Amino acid sequence: MAKVSVIIPVYNSEKFICKCLDSVLAQTLQDIEVICVDDASEDNSYAILEKYTQKDDRVTLLINDTNRGQSYARNRAIACASGKYIQFVDSDDYIDLDLLEKSYCLSQEKELDILETECTMHTLHEKKITVRRQTPIDVITGIEYQNQYGINSFAIWKYFVRRSFLEKYKLNFYEGIIHEDVLFVYEMLKNAGRVFYMPFVQYHYMTMNSITTSLVDKNYSYYSLLHVVKKIISAPVEPQFMVSVLQRIQSMLSIYRRESCTYIRRENWEEEMIETERMFLGEQHIDAALIHENRNRIHACQHKYIYGAGYAAGQLLEELDRYGIDINGFIVTKKEDKDVYMGHRITALADFNENPKDCMILVAIASKGADAVISGLQGMGYSNIMYACRQEWREK
> Of the residues 281, 304, 327, which one is the last residue of a structural domain?
281
> Which one of 191, 214, 237 terminates a domain?
214
Query: Does residue 17 sit in helix, strand or coil?
Result: helix
How many domains is the chain built from?
Answer: 3
Q: What is the CATH number of the domain that holds 125?
A: 3.90.550.10
Does residue 333 share a domain with residue 387? yes
Report the C-alpha gap between 213 and 155 in whole angstroms.
Answer: 12
Alpha-carbon gap, residue 132 to 145, rounded angstroms: 14
Residues 149 and 393: their CA atoms lie apart, in Å, by: 42
Give the domain extent around 171. Answer: 4-214
Distance between CA atoms of residues 340 and 345, nearest Å: 5
pTM for the full predicted model: 0.82
Same domain, 267 and 297: no
CA–CA distance, 5 with 113 (Å, rounded to integer): 15
Cα angle 37, 38, 41; round to 5: 160
Measured between alpha carbons, how far is 240 from 242 in angstroms, rounded to an integer?
Answer: 6
Cα–Cα distance for residue pair 219/223, rounded to 1 Å: 6
60 with 203, same domain: the answer is yes
Kindly state whether residues 193 and 271 are assigned to the same domain: no
Same domain, yes or no: 41 and 166: yes
Residues 6+ apart with CB under 8 A from 96: 23, 202, 203, 204
Asked whether residue 157 falls in the same domain as residue 303, the answer is no
Q: Does residue 174 sit in the same domain as residue 126?
A: yes
Q: Do both 17 and 154 map to the same domain?
A: yes
**Tens digit of pLDDT per residue, the chain (396 long)?**
899 999 999 999 999 999 999 999 999 999 999 999 999 999 999 999 999 999 999 999 999 999 999 999 999 999 999 999 999 999 999 999 999 999 999 999 999 999 999 999 888 777 777 666 666 778 999 999 988 888 878 999 999 999 999 999 999 999 988 889 999 999 999 999 999 999 889 999 997 655 554 445 677 888 889 999 999 998 888 888 988 899 889 888 877 776 665 667 777 888 888 888 888 878 888 988 899 899 999 999 999 999 999 889 998 998 898 788 999 999 999 888 788 999 999 999 999 999 999 999 999 997 778 889 999 999 999 999 999 998 876 665
| Domain shared by 265 and 377, yes or no | no
Q: Are residues 230 and 159 in the same domain?
A: no
Of the residues 184, 214, 244, the one at which a domain ends: 214
Q: What is the CATH number of the domain that holds 344?
A: 3.40.50.20
pLDDT of 213: 47
Question: Are residues 32 and 174 located together in one domain of the fold?
Answer: yes
Q: Are residues 336 and 205 in the same domain?
A: no
